[in-house]
């Protein structure tokens, strides 16, 4: 009987304590969508991140990644887990207007309805709204079988919760751009409240700057003065960064959240690269 070859991670960091000390409860945060999966292992008792890996997968490969995780010696200590969906199937509904019974209607109005699709909702506390989002029933079944009590959210939620909490005492406009291989999320805040959120698909750096400048124009914000922080798959030597900096003067990278501790191994990673994964625990 042939043995399935393990999928190799694109990025892998792991604290050595996982090989010797398997005491204590652990939380597993997973972000998945658009052909990629990244997970991080968090120790709530120590408020510390211990490991992270990212994978690129085909449709069948997602199940294989989860199967590999179950064989890890530390998996027996995972007592809670969360899944953040990376997709454009999301809309935000202000809390006073939200009706749980109408969530499917909200979703179908914004993103096309599909057979075998589940529409979920979750409160974004700091934004005073509910996120309404969708996933396939197949994906939901896969993750429920992997960890029955897993909390499912949209990847926008940890992004919004974190930046709005950070900006609660701000008295100006701020902008955030989270870049993924196939999509981008834009967030604008004003006086510590949510001004704008949207997600876009992109294939070129020109797509990224187009949507960014379009949003700035619609909100009547000045690209010469607004502070923009970047996170995700972007570096200073990228074409994306170069074109952004050409039009937006005040650009910086999002620092890693200071709410948690990190194994020294995480210093091998750019601080801004997995920002929303690190803050996912805030929504779990």
**Given a cut of 90, is residue 164 above it in pLDDT?**
yes
Distance between CA atoms of 75 and 239, rounded to whole angstroms? 39
In a domain, 5, yes or no: no
**Given a cut of 70, is residue 1 above it in pLDDT?**
no
Q: Answer yes or no: do 216 and 236 share one domain.
A: yes
- CATH code of the domain covering residue 79: 3.30.420
Using 50, 70 and 90 to split pLDDT, how confident is the model at 113? low
| pLDDT tens per residue, range 71-100 | 999 999 999 999 999 999 999 999 999 999
- CATH code of the domain covering residue 116: 3.30.420.250
Q: Answer yes or no: do 245 and 271 share one domain.
A: no
In a domain, 58, yes or no: yes
From 154, 180, 196, the end of a domain falls on 154
Residues 6+ apart with CB under 8 A from 214: none
Q: Answer yes or no: do 177 and 249 share one domain.
A: yes
Q: Answer yes or no: do 77 and 101 share one domain.
A: no
Distance between CA atoms of 44 and 107, rounded to whole angstroms? 34
The crossing angle, in degrees rounded to 10, of helices 137-146 and 59-70 is: 10
The answer to whether the CB of 185 falls within 8 A of the CB of 230 is no
In a domain, 194, yes or no: yes
| pLDDT tens per residue, range 229-265 | 999 999 999 999 999 999 999 999 999 999 999 999 9
Residue found under tokens 């922080």 = 229
Q: Answer yes or no: do 94 and 77 share one domain.
A: no
End-to-end CA distance of the chain, in Å? 40
pLDDT, the chain, mean: 92
Q: Which stretches of 2-141 are assigned E, i.e. beta strand?
A: 11-14, 26-33, 36-43, 48-56, 78-85, 90-94, 117-124, 129-136
From 154, 174, 209, the end of a domain falls on 154
- pLDDT, position 60: 66
| pLDDT tens per residue, range 174-228 | 999 999 999 999 999 998 899 999 999 999 999 999 999 999 999 999 999 999 9
| Domain of residue 70, residue span | 11-85+258-283
| Cα torsion through 47, 50, 56, 58, rounded to 10 | -80
Neighbours of 148 (CB within 10 A): 8
Using 50, 70 and 90 to split pLDDT, how confident is the model at 36? very high
pTM score: 0.93
- CATH code of the domain covering residue 208: 3.30.420.260
In a domain, 2, yes or no: no
Which one is predicted more confidently, 64 or 7?
64
Distance between CA atoms of 33 and 151, rounded to whole angstroms? 16
Q: Answer yes or no: do 185 and 141 share one domain.
A: no
Q: What's the number of domains the chain is made of? A: 3
In a domain, 101, yes or no: yes
Q: Answer yes or no: do 244 and 267 share one domain.
A: no
In a domain, 31, yes or no: yes
């Amino acid at each position: 009987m042939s043995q399935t070859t393990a999928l190799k991670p694109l990025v892998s960091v792991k604290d050595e304590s996982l090989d010797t000390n398997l005491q204590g409860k652990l939380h597993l945060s997973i972000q998945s969508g658009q052909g990629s999966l990244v997970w991080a292992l968090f120790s709530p008792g120590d408020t510390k991140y211990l490991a992270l890996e990212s994978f690129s997968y085909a449709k069948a490969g997602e199940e294989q990644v989860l199967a590999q995780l179950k064989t890890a010696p530390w998996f027996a200590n995972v007592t809670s887990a969360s899944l953040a969906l990376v997709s454009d199937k999301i809309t935000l509904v202000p809390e006073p207007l939200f009706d749980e019974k109408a969530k499917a209607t909200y979703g179908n109005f914004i993103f096309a309805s599909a057979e075998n699709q589940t529409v979920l909702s979750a409160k974004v506390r700091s934004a005073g709204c509910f996120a309404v989002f969708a996933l396939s029933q197949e994906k939901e079944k896969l993750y429920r079988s992997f960890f029955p009590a897993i909390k499912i959210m949209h990847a926008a939620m940890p992004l919004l919760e974190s930046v709005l909490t950070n900006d609660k005492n701000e008295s100006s406009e701020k902008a955030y751009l989270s870049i993924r291989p196939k999509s981008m999320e834009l967030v604008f805040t004003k006086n510590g409240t949510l001004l704008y959120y949207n997600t876009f698909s992109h294939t070129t750096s020109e797509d990224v700057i187009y949507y960014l400048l379009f949003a700035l124009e619609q909100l009547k914000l000045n690209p010469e003065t607004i502070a923009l922080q970047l996170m995700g798959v972007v570096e200073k030597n990228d074409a994306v960064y170069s074109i952004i900096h050409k039009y937006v003067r005040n650009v910086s990278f999002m620092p890693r959240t200071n709410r948690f501790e990190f194994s020294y191994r995480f210093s091998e990673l750019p601080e801004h690269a997995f920002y929303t994964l690190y803050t996912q625990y805030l929504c779990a």
